[in-house]
Structure 1
Amino acid sequence: MVYRSNHPTVKAGGRAMMRVMVVDDQKDVRDGLALMLSRDPEIQVVARCANGAEALEALHTLDANGSPLPDVTLMDVRMPVMDGIDATRRIHRLWPDVGIVVLTTYDQDDYAFGALAVGAAGFLLKDASARSIVDAVHAVCAGDAALSPRVTREVIARVIPKPADARNADPFSQLPPRELELASFVAEGLSNAEIAKRMSIEPASVKRSVSRIISRLGLASRVQIAVEWWRAGRHW
């Protein structure tokens, strides 16, 4: 079952709210997440879907109607019909501006980590606090990743192999010094606001630069900057 809202809600002051789609095969989980999110006055839940196929259907419908797409999708990984990894891959390819946060039950679920390689902006445990889930939506909308620096390093070090000849295939060598410095901060897991403070620039400039680095290196997300930093043999 798919629930949609094709009309964006606008806050006082004329600024659009953050639009979120919730995808999980358990109705009580979908409803619980939607309830938690709806308590934030800046968030509007625009769709609730039972699997990846329904999520794609909802996005195709919104797109065909010219309606605003979700800014963020909370995506379960283990679902019937179409799982979260396949859905994440397809959504990222068709609608790269839709940020995806993967939801998992286990903090060592390698299946969930696979979503990072196909474009997810991060992952959360399903038992995360309501504040953590809301904060993740805000972070992804701001262009950040929904992973703490510690989790980023631990996940990448455990899941992503580092080749012995990493230095021979270092994509970051093509970046100018300023972008290289910025990429190092992204790899550390710092937010746009934290990077902006360190580099004495505006957060909006950081967001544009991160997008430029992702495009130049042919990556899927800012999380992949951290992955490639590790693979290249660079240090955090």
Structure 2
Amino acid sequence: MITTDAVGVLVVDDHAIVRRGLRAYLDSEPEMEMLGEAADGREAVARLKERQVTGDRMPEVVLMDLQMPRLDGVEATRQIARAHPEVKVVVLTSFGEAERVHAALTAGAAGYVLKDADPDEVATAIRAAATGEVHLDSAVARLLARRMAAPRTGLTSLTGREREILVLVAQGLCNREIAEQLVISERTARTHVSNLLGKLQLASRTQAALLAIREGLVAAPG
């Protein structure tokens, strides 16, 4: 039996069997009510707009898959967050890579749950989103925690001085010339070059120069 204060949910997934399974699950939860479904992000956005125009009850939560045709879950989440800020999106997907999680949360998702999670975790994420909280799948939370604790790599791992020296290396300056331009000792310049190569996991100054060009720090020669 559905209570009057049940959380309304819109299910978005391109697999009909998944939508059917989620409907059966939500129907078994007295505190939740499935208000509709969509086969991709574009249809989800359209359904919400239609409900807004007709004055039908808007769902409190959208359960959103990520990989779908026409409009993927990240972009659909971004559009929903912009057009309907009162509607919260919980991503329900098979993909747990940190990049996907970050993209979804940046787009405005209020939760991220993997499809192999316990059904109770899906319910927890829905309830959390409906009350304005953010819930992450326990496996996803551990992944993000490990990533935050890991040493930074890439250009973001460089200090301001090291980035400055990387540009000079890309311009073809030797250690002595770098030292003269920055008014530091040649030994200090050599140490900075060695440190930035190590942080960037590069084997040579040539590789460093190519990286600087690729990242737009310096213009390609000729």
> If the TM-score is normalised by the length of the shorter chain, which range does it land in?
0.5 to 0.7
Deviations 1:88-131 (A, max 9, x none): 00000000111111122132262343111110012111111211
Q: Which has the higher contact order (CA 8 A, sep 6+)?
A: 1
Amino acid at match of 1:122: G
Instruction: Compute the displacement of 1:156 (Å).
Output: 6.2
Q: Is 2:132 the counterpart of 1:143?
A: yes
Deviations 1:137-162 (A, max 9, x none): 11111221121688446426638979
1:79-118 to structure 2, matched below 5 A, reads 79-108=68-97, 110-118=99-107
Residues in 2 aligned to 1:100 and 1:20: alpha-carbon distance in whole angstroms? 10
**Identity over aligned pairs, percent:** 36
User: CA 1:19/1:119 → structure 2, altered by over 3 Å: closer, same or farther?
Assistant: same
Amino acid at match of 2:133: D
Which stretches in structure 2 are left out of the alignment for 5+ residues? Answer: 159-222
User: CA 1:47/1:109 → structure 2, altered by over 3 Å: closer, same or farther?
Assistant: farther
User: CA 1:10/1:148 → structure 2, altered by over 3 Å: closer, same or farther?
Assistant: closer
Q: 2:32 maps to what in 1?
A: 43
1:104-183 to structure 2, matched below 5 A, reads 104-108=93-97, 110-147=99-136, 151-152=140-141, 154-155=143-144, 158=147
* 1:21–1:74 Cα contact (<8 Å) kept: yes
Amino acid at match of 2:73: G
Instruction: Compute the displacement of 1:132 (Å).
Output: 1.2
Which structure would you say has the larger Rg?
2
Q: 1:61 maps to what in 2?
A: 50
1:205-224 to structure 2, matched below 5 A, reads none
- Runs of 4+ with >6 A deviation: 159-162
Q: TM-score, with normalisation over the residues of structure 1?
A: 0.59
Structure 1 vs Structure 2 CA RMSD: 2.8
User: CA 1:148/1:30 → structure 2, altered by over 3 Å: closer, same or farther?
Assistant: closer
Report how many aligned residue pairs link the two structures: 155
Q: 2:180 maps to what in 1?
A: none
Which stretches in structure 1 are left out of the alignment for 5+ residues? Answer: 1-8, 166-236
